[in-house]
Amino acid sequence: MPAIHSSLSFYMKPLFLSNSSLFPRKFTVPKEYLLNPRSLCALSSASNQNGGRSGARSLSPSPVSDDLQKIDVNPPKGTRDFPPEDMRLRNWLFHNFQEVSRLFGFEEVDFPVLESEALFIRKAGEEIRDQLYCFEDRGNRRVALRPELTPSLARLVIQKGKSVSLPLKWFAVGQCWRYERMTRGRRREHYQWNMDIIGVPAVTAEAELISSIITFFKRIGITASDVGFRISSRKVLQEVLRCHSIPEHLFGKVCIIIDKIEKLPLDVIKNDLKSAGMSEAAIEELLRVLSIKSLTELEEILGGAGEAVADLKLLFSLAEKFGYSDWIQFDASVVRGLAYYTGIVFECFDRDGKLRAICGGGRYDQLLSTFGGDDIPACGFGFGDAVILELLKEKGLLPPLNHQVENIVCALDHNLQGAASMVATTLRGKGQSVDLVLESKPLKWVFKRAARINAQRLILVGTTEWQKGMVGVKILSSGEQYEIKLDELE
Give the whole-angstrom CA distance, residue 324 versus residue 339: 28
Q: Which of 324, 327, 346, 381 binds ligand HAM (CB under 6 A)?
A: 381
Which residues are within 8 A (CB) of 415 and not within 5 positions of it... i.e. 6 or more apart? 14, 463
Segment contacting ligand HAM by CB under 6 A, of 63-71, 192-200, 257-265, 279-287: 192-200
Q: Which of 343, 360, 442, 462 binds ligand HAM (CB under 6 A)?
A: 360
Say how many C-beta atoms besides its own lie within 10 A of residue 310's C-beta.
Answer: 15
- Which of 377, 382, 464, 461 minimizes the C-alpha distance to 426? 461
- Which of 336, 339, 329 minimizes the C-alpha distance to 297? 329
Residue 166 dihedral angles phi and psi, to the nearest 5°: -90, 155
Give the whole-angstrom CA distance, residue 480 versus residue 476: 7
Which of residues 371 and 482 has its CB atom nearest to ligand HAM in the complex? 371
Which of residues 343 and 360 has its CB atom nearest to ligand HAM in the complex? 360
Residue 250 CB, nearest distance to ligand HAM (Å)?
Answer: 22
Residue 163 CB, nearest distance to ligand HAM (Å)?
Answer: 22
Cα 276 to the center of its chain, rounded Å? 39
Buried b (16+ CB within 10 A) or exposed e, 181-196: eeeebbbbbbbbbbbb
Residue 232 CB, nearest distance to ligand HAM (Å)?
Answer: 14
Give the whole-angstrom CA distance, residue 446 versus residue 432: 19
53 is a site residue for ligand HAM (CB under 6 A): no
Which of residues 11 and 229 has its CB atom nearest to ligand HAM in the complex? 229
Q: What does each C-alpha distance from 95 to 91, 102, 186, 380, 397 come to in angstroms?
A: 6, 10, 22, 19, 16
Residue 377 CB, nearest distance to ligand HAM (Å)?
Answer: 12
Three-state secondary structure along 325-352?
HHHEEECCCCCCCCCCCCCEEEEEEECC
* Contact (CB, 8 A) for 314 and 201: no
Which residues are within 8 A (CB) of 390 and not within 5 positions of it... i.e. 6 or more apart? 184, 185, 355
Which of residues 9 and 342 has its CB atom nearest to ligand HAM in the complex? 342
Residue 230 CB, nearest distance to ligand HAM (Å)?
Answer: 12
358 is a site residue for ligand HAM (CB under 6 A): yes
361 is a site residue for ligand HAM (CB under 6 A): yes
Residue 282 CB, nearest distance to ligand HAM (Å)?
Answer: 27
Give the whole-angstrom CA distance, residue 139 versus residue 322: 51
Which of residues 19 and 233 has its CB atom nearest to ligand HAM in the complex? 233
Q: Which of 36, 192, 238, 432 binds ligand HAM (CB under 6 A)?
A: 192
196 is a site residue for ligand HAM (CB under 6 A): yes
Which of residues 142 and 184 has its CB atom nearest to ligand HAM in the complex? 184
Give the number of residues in contact with ligand HAM, rule: CB under 6 A.
Answer: 24
Q: Which of 357, 412, 443, 470 binds ligand HAM (CB under 6 A)?
A: 357
Residue 20 CB, nearest distance to ligand HAM (Å)?
Answer: 51
212 is a site residue for ligand HAM (CB under 6 A): no
Buried b (16+ CB within 10 A) or exposed e, 454-481: ebebbbbbbbbbbeeebbbbbebeeeeb
Residue 280 CB, nearest distance to ligand HAM (Å)?
Answer: 31
* Contact (CB, 8 A) for 440 and 434: no
Q: Which of residues 162-191 bind ligand HAM (CB under 6 A)?
A: 178, 180, 185-187, 190
Residue 471 CB, nearest distance to ligand HAM (Å)?
Answer: 49
Q: Which of 231, 298, 359, 476 binds ligand HAM (CB under 6 A)?
A: 359
Which chain residues interact with ligand HAM by CB under 6 A?
148, 150, 178, 180, 185-187, 190, 192, 194, 196, 338, 357-361, 380-384, 386-387
